[in-house]
Chain A
């Protein structure tokens, strides 16, 4: 796509203005309708867009210098992130320039193996890189006074590079034809699996394709997601969608086992809400109480942490409820959960006295076989406290500004599994994987590989290699959200109707193409004209549905305005919830797989802020940065309570075999004070079998400078998980596995367990010189 094409856009030449509603931040936002001539070399240009790294849908500004996007920054005043941006959003530029990004489309003859044409292409591209003047010899840098190494990159105008680019681009027509044939052969037996980031009109277009093919609607893969929450919400609030949790105006927040701020479905929004809840109101400091098993980031910032046995959160919620609505006694709750009665009583007192109060049930609760009743009991706390439909409580999310942008409901694990079973049965002829790695959705206990092998044609639309692309016959490299058009709405309520417009601040870096362009072209070739020329035309048509804002005289079309400010947002509220207290029975006990005698530990799979859903592990910044609690980096570890470690005579860096009835993993030991003695925790998603050089299980060459041997990240925790399904929602209960831990008598190989801070590890490690039992107590902190 040529930059000059955009001159055609509404005839605008330069449109420079300060973002409305956030004058404080002095940055010029450019609509993507600026002539290159209007950009000053070396001067950054900001484009308003939105982050697509997760379903939170944060507003963002892309900083572009001379055609390269250098940094993503939060869009000031955006209702989701209020100007902030999370770590993964910050790391998104590493996806843009990822060394393992697909250079162009690849039609494969053998699954898992790049075609010879693609490999030749790869060589050409590498040669183009090599034609740049980066210092290759270390000695170069010993030259007196050499400081900044000559050049940071190749020039975009470089001929070799341009040739490589053109050569790659020429492979597209064949790829589109291949896809068209795949669509034809698939027909109604085509299955479209989409990732959780696919929302807005991107999802709508895929749905249109499915309709045209008479195939089933696209299936949104969100297996660890909110199925249980949705079922519970429907039962208590009357509607399933994920509500607005108005932390900012709350006086007491009770979090049941959730690391809402660091992962969660809208980390930035909740983090902003937390900050505001604490200190934005002059005389009120909201309180936070965490009820949970693992002491994580949320517990770290909480005023109180109430430790409960895995899967017993619901009992605490029920202890706070009046007995008329299914409440139980404090003593009963204490015996069920293992929490101290004093703490429960204190919480009950807070719950009664502070208003508004907000109870949030999170993933730790949702991970169990009793997820739905537990989450319902937690939601009931909001109803009983009168917090529904009120500021500081639970609010119904308003519908998005354009109706068909609404976030699609994800499929539950049970549904996903049915699709996988039909693949295994040979009922699926074509499989389209759009921005999704289906292997993340299944524990290794389910033979997804076997099922997928049965599908005759698989196309994967992805930017980076993953286990899904390894199965594909056709790789369709999607442009990143910094190179294409798109739109999105947040997955959870954020107190406003938000529609983000994603515009391409830069041209595609490699010869990638937006999914929309490819789908439209291939569908047309397969005889299904979906009615749009390309992605840009498509999104423009979709946004034309918006009625122009006539309240302010002289305003431009909604499209142009949205281009400038990154979309539209209206401070609307949805139709109020019609909430009612559910009828609660006695707390349902969670069920676990594995004999407690041989598998004495609960396995707590932790979603680390660093890795989140796998996307984090592919980006080197996210790998290297130490997890906030463990300070672990570059792969996985197993967290063990200090007393348990002492009992098993385990020291940090010792290697252990963690084994469930399904499989086993070798991992390095980390002493972690935030777990009960009968539980071990392992981060999720630090590796893939066929990932990039940064996250592949076997390891690639991570360091060029030091030429050291990369031990690889090792196999992911999915190897251990039992396939247990929460009966009421069909969600995978990934917290229901029991494991055993056996020391191997060795230490982990160097680089296999990486800890940025070793301070709490020292006391048990004789290799470290000293006892650091006295952690720093000098901080004058309350």
Chain B
């Protein structure tokens, strides 16, 4: 069981963790066109349920990754900005300590994990998530795949039931898959041998996924950039999603 405080200590002071990996995601905002390929890719990969018009309007749809759009100014001197936002897999995740049943906790490789079976649906974690990236199952999602649409479901990912919280997992099933593959083939996992569904679908190469503790990985190189920032850095949540700011410079 991860400890909130000492996790923080782990990554700031004692360096790499036991698992030897620290997954991270780099989001280059200067490349994102808001096309939404990543959004649907995540739906397809992770069995995200459909909410229907009424519930979508009520704010109950599922987008483990969403493209936020911000306006600035007035026509014609108008600016807008897209920001893909998914779970930031905070090293000091505020959503974790508040969960009364350990349904959400930190794994050794730096992921904020959800144990759906354990969740009782207090929704406290979402309250304490400054990024609002946790999605609650307000209705029975399984029934929103009318036959034969359910055939598209990915057997590697749990179909959540009503009353539980869910969120971006960094496509943990892919991580496990490739760990296993590497193990069978008796080799070390290579950087970039796999990636998350969202990163994979992004034609503009906005999203880069990899091991932050591997100095040779693309993410480790990219986080050196002086365009780097993290969302709500001042809150001390220590996200492992690094954004590269757009614009000149």
> A interface vs B, CB < 8 Å?
24-26, 42, 65, 68, 70-74, 81-91, 93-94, 96-99, 126, 129-130, 132, 134-135, 138, 141, 145-149, 152-154, 261-262, 267-269, 271-272, 274-276, 278-279, 285, 295, 297-301, 303, 305-307, 339-340, 509, 609-610, 620-622, 624-626, 628-629, 631, 633-635, 641-642, 673-677, 693, 702-706, 708, 710-711, 750-758, 760, 775-782
9 nearest A-B residue pairs (beta carbon)? A782-B247, A84-B203, A275-B204, A307-B76, A300-B80, A705-B143, A751-B53, A275-B31, A703-B52
Query: Would you call A754 and B56 a contact (CB within 8 A)?
Result: yes
CB contacts (< 8 Å) of B44 on chain A: these are 70-72, 90-91, 93, 621
Q: Does B28 contact A (CB under 8 A)?
A: yes
Q: Does B12 contact A (CB under 8 A)?
A: no
Q: Known contacts being A634-B53, A782-B246, is A70 close to B154, with CB within 8 Å?
A: yes
Bound Cα distance from A130 to B204, whole angstroms: 43
Query: Would you call A134 and B150 a contact (CB within 8 A)?
Result: yes
CB contacts (< 8 Å) of B212 on chain A: these are none
Residue of A nearest to B39 (CB): A625
Within 120-152 of B, Cβ neighbours of A (below 8 Å) are at 139-152
Which of the residues B51, B144, B162 comes within 8 Å of A141, measured between beta carbons? B162
Q: Can you name 27 A-B residue pairings with CB atoms under 8 Å?
A: A25-B192, A26-B181, A26-B194, A70-B153, A74-B200, A97-B148, A97-B151, A98-B149, A152-B151, A261-B35, A272-B203, A278-B30, A295-B75, A301-B33, A305-B76, A307-B76, A509-B151, A609-B35, A624-B56, A628-B36, A628-B67, A675-B75, A676-B76, A702-B52, A704-B143, A756-B66, A781-B245
Which of the residues A99, A625, A750, A777 comes within 8 Å of B147, measured between beta carbons? A99
| CB of B46, distance to nearest CB on chain A (Å) | 10
Q: Does B98 contact A (CB under 8 A)?
A: no
Count B interface residues, CB 8 Å. 89
Q: Does B43 contact A (CB under 8 A)?
A: yes
Bound Cα distance from A632 to B126, whole angstroms: 24
Q: Does B206 contact A (CB under 8 A)?
A: yes
Bound Cα distance from A633 to B147, whole angstroms: 23
Bound Cα distance from A755 to B40, whole angstroms: 17
CB contacts (< 8 Å) of B181 on chain A: these are 26
| CB of B114, distance to nearest CB on chain A (Å) | 12
CB contacts (< 8 Å) of A134 on chain B: these are 142, 147, 150
| CB of B31, distance to nearest CB on chain A (Å) | 4
Q: Mark B36-77, 1 if CB is under 8 A from A, else 0.
A: 110111011100001111111101010100111111111110
Q: Does B32 contact A (CB under 8 A)?
A: yes
CB contacts (< 8 Å) of A775 on chain B: these are 70-72
CB contacts (< 8 Å) of A149 on chain B: these are 142, 159, 161
Residue of A nearest to B200 (CB): A73
Query: Would you call A307 and B75 a contact (CB within 8 A)?
Result: yes
CB contacts (< 8 Å) of A97 on chain B: these are 148-152
Residue of A nearest to B61 (CB): A624
Query: Would you call B140 and A141 a contact (CB within 8 A)?
Result: yes
Query: Would you call A24 and B144 a contact (CB within 8 A)?
Result: no
| CB of A476, distance to nearest CB on chain B (Å) | 20
Query: Would you call B201 and A82 a contact (CB within 8 A)?
Result: no
| CB of B12, distance to nearest CB on chain A (Å) | 22
Q: Does B4 contact A (CB under 8 A)?
A: no
Q: Known contacts being A146-B161, A300-B82, A673-B75, is A706 close to B203, with CB within 8 Å?
A: no
Residue of B nearest to A776 (CB): B70
Q: Mark B150-181, 1 if CB is under 8 A from A, else 0.
A: 11111100111110000000000000001001
Bound Cα distance from A751 to B51, whole angstroms: 11
Bound Cα distance from A89 to B44, whole angstroms: 11
CB contacts (< 8 Å) of B139 on chain A: these are 705-706
Bound Cα distance from A88 to B162, whole angstroms: 28
Bound Cα distance from A65 to B51, whole angstroms: 26
Bound Cα distance from A676 to B75, whole angstroms: 7
Most buried by B among A72, A98, A152: A152
Bound Cα distance from A121 to B202, whole angstroms: 41
Query: Would you call A278 and B80 a contact (CB within 8 A)?
Result: no
Q: Does B92 contact A (CB under 8 A)?
A: no
Bound Cα distance from A196 to B178, whole angstroms: 39
Which of the residues B61, B117, B146 comes within 8 Å of A633, measured between beta carbons? B61
CB contacts (< 8 Å) of B145 on chain A: these are 152
Q: Known contacts being A268-B203, A301-B33, A621-B43, is A42 close to B155, with CB within 8 Å?
A: yes
Query: Would you call A780 and B245 a contact (CB within 8 A)?
Result: yes
Query: Would you call B81 and A300 a contact (CB within 8 A)?
Result: yes
CB contacts (< 8 Å) of B57 on chain A: these are 633-634, 750-751, 753-755
CB contacts (< 8 Å) of A82 on chain B: these are 203, 205
Is the contact region of chain A dominated by helix, strand, or loop, or is it mixed? loop
Q: Does B229 contact A (CB under 8 A)?
A: yes
Query: Would you call A147 and B116 a contact (CB within 8 A)?
Result: yes
Query: Would you call A621 and B40 a contact (CB within 8 A)?
Result: yes
Most buried by A among B117, B145, B190: B145
Q: Does B188 contact A (CB under 8 A)?
A: no
Q: Does B15 contact A (CB under 8 A)?
A: no
Query: Would you call A154 and B144 a contact (CB within 8 A)?
Result: no
Most buried by A among B30, B142, B159: B142
Bound Cα distance from A129 to B81, whole angstroms: 45
CB contacts (< 8 Å) of B99 on chain A: these are none
Query: Would you call A274 and B204 a contact (CB within 8 A)?
Result: yes
Query: Would you call B75 and A84 a contact (CB within 8 A)?
Result: no
| CB of B219, distance to nearest CB on chain A (Å) | 15
CB contacts (< 8 Å) of B140 on chain A: these are 138, 141, 705
Residue of A nearest to B225 (CB): A279
CB contacts (< 8 Å) of A93 on chain B: these are 44, 152
Q: Does B29 contact A (CB under 8 A)?
A: yes
Within 226-249 of B, Cβ neighbours of A (below 8 Å) are at 229, 232, 245-249
Query: Would you call B144 and A704 a contact (CB within 8 A)?
Result: yes
Which of the residues B29, B40, B70 comes within 8 Å of A90, measured between beta carbons? B40
| CB of B226, distance to nearest CB on chain A (Å) | 11
Which of the residues B151, B158, B203 comes within 8 Å of A86, measured between beta carbons? B203
Q: Does B78 contact A (CB under 8 A)?
A: yes
| CB of B189, distance to nearest CB on chain A (Å) | 9
Most buried by B among A72, A509, A641, A704: A704
Bound Cα distance from A130 to B146, whole angstroms: 11
Query: Would you call B82 and A628 a contact (CB within 8 A)?
Result: yes
Query: Would you call A624 and B45 a contact (CB within 8 A)?
Result: no
| CB of B113, distance to nearest CB on chain A (Å) | 15
| CB of A463, distance to nearest CB on chain B (Å) | 14
Bound Cα distance from A760 to B161, whole angstroms: 33
Q: Does B95 contact A (CB under 8 A)?
A: no
- A sample of 15 more A-B contacts (CB under 8 A), given A145-B117, A149-B159, A262-B36, is A138-B143, A146-B161, A267-B35, A272-B205, A279-B31, A295-B80, A307-B76, A340-B76, A509-B148, A609-B35, A673-B71, A674-B78, A711-B53, A757-B68, A782-B246
Query: Would you call A153 and B75 a contact (CB within 8 A)?
Result: no
Query: Would you call B53 and A754 a contact (CB within 8 A)?
Result: yes
CB contacts (< 8 Å) of A99 on chain B: these are 146-149
Query: Would you call A781 and B50 a contact (CB within 8 A)?
Result: no
Q: Does B25 contact A (CB under 8 A)?
A: no
Query: Would you call A629 and B201 a contact (CB within 8 A)?
Result: no
CB contacts (< 8 Å) of B82 on chain A: these are 297, 300-301, 628
Residue of B nearest to A88 (CB): B40
CB contacts (< 8 Å) of A26 on chain B: these are 178, 181, 190, 193-194
CB contacts (< 8 Å) of A760 on chain B: these are 71
Bound Cα distance from A606 to B225, whole angstroms: 37
Residue of A nearest to B178 (CB): A26
| CB of A247, distance to nearest CB on chain B (Å) | 11
Within 15-36 of B, Cβ neighbours of A (below 8 Å) are at 28-36
Query: Would you call B74 and A152 a contact (CB within 8 A)?
Result: no
Bound Cα distance from A148 to B37, whole angstroms: 27
Bound Cα distance from A707 to B185, whole angstroms: 50
